[in-house]
Amino acid sequence: AHRGGGALAPENTLGAIRLGASMGFKGVEFDVMLAGDGTPVLMHDETLERTTNGRGPVAETPYPVLAQLDAGKGEPVPSFEQAGLLCRELGLWANVEIKPAKGHERATGEAVARMAQDLWRGADLAPVLSSFSIETLIAARDAAAELPRGCLVEKIPADWDGRLRELGCIALHCNHKHLDETMTAQIRSAGYSVLVYTVNEPADARRLLAWGADCLVTDALDQVGPEFG
């Protein structure tokens, strides 16, 4: 379930994660950024305006201030710690998308990986740490090498194989619009999992699964439901 509850709940909130779980989803994707005081929080954009009633850059707003904001339907902005604990309580797999604000790539990768290490210590099911930022993935690898990582891209780069190897990733996460059957097979036969976002049409979901995609991320929780996986 993309951003916790897809299109059916305020994105990146605890309520969204609960909704995803209540609809039978096995896993949730959410975005994590550092607040002004260095606390990892669930947030997609670098600024607060689109998803909250606050204003200004997330990276300049301390967590105690963020925690007072409304992220939709009265839901607060959760800390990554709260979200991780909730996933563990609900038995949900987490795709932790590390979303650094510009200039905070390394610090964000490091802080989120360290916290994930603490949150999932001793757990049966490890989360996957993913990011569009190579610098962030390197920092996450350096901080918590044992946690699985996914290399997140829009389009698959020509050097995908070398990139996944260098970053020590277990999976390629890409926009399903840029994937085809041959590429899916190539990536999987190289030993990597394939995660596709954001798959909102049942026909696309069926085709991607038939190609061998391992994980679908969706906003359409009521249409591309757990029965597809």
Among 13, 130, 133, 184, binds ligand G3P (CB under 6 A): 130
Residue 64, Cβ neighbours under 10 Å: how many?
A: 11
Q: 69: which DSSP letter? A: S
Q: Does 97 bind ligand G3P (CB under 6 A)?
A: yes
Indicate the residue among 119 and 152 with the shorter CB distance to ligand G3P.
Answer: 152
User: At closest approach, how far in Å is the CB of 131 from Mg ion?
Assistant: 9
Q: Does 11 bind Mg ion (CB under 5 A)?
A: no
Report angle CA 67, 70, 72 to the nearest 5 degrees: 135
Do the beta carbons of residue 196 and residue 213 sit within 8 Å?
yes
User: At closest approach, how far in Å is the CB of 145 from Mg ion?
Assistant: 23
CA distance 60 to 21: 32
Q: Which stretch binds Mg ion (CB under 5 A): 28-36, 87-95, 103-111, 206-214?
A: 28-36
Q: Read off φ and ψ for residue 99, nearest 5 degrees.
A: -120, 80
Q: Per this entry, what is the length of the chain?
A: 229
Q: Does 29 bind ligand G3P (CB under 6 A)?
A: yes
Using CB under 5 A as the binding rule, the residues of this chain from 58 to 97 that contact Mg ion are 97
CA distance 69 to 106: 27
| Binding residue count for Mg ion, defined by CB under 5 A | 2
Q: Out of ligand G3P, Mg ion, none, which partner does residue 110 contact, by CB within 5 to 8 A per kind?
A: none
Q: Out of Mg ion, ligand G3P, none, which partner does residue 130 contact, by CB within 5 to 8 A per kind?
A: ligand G3P
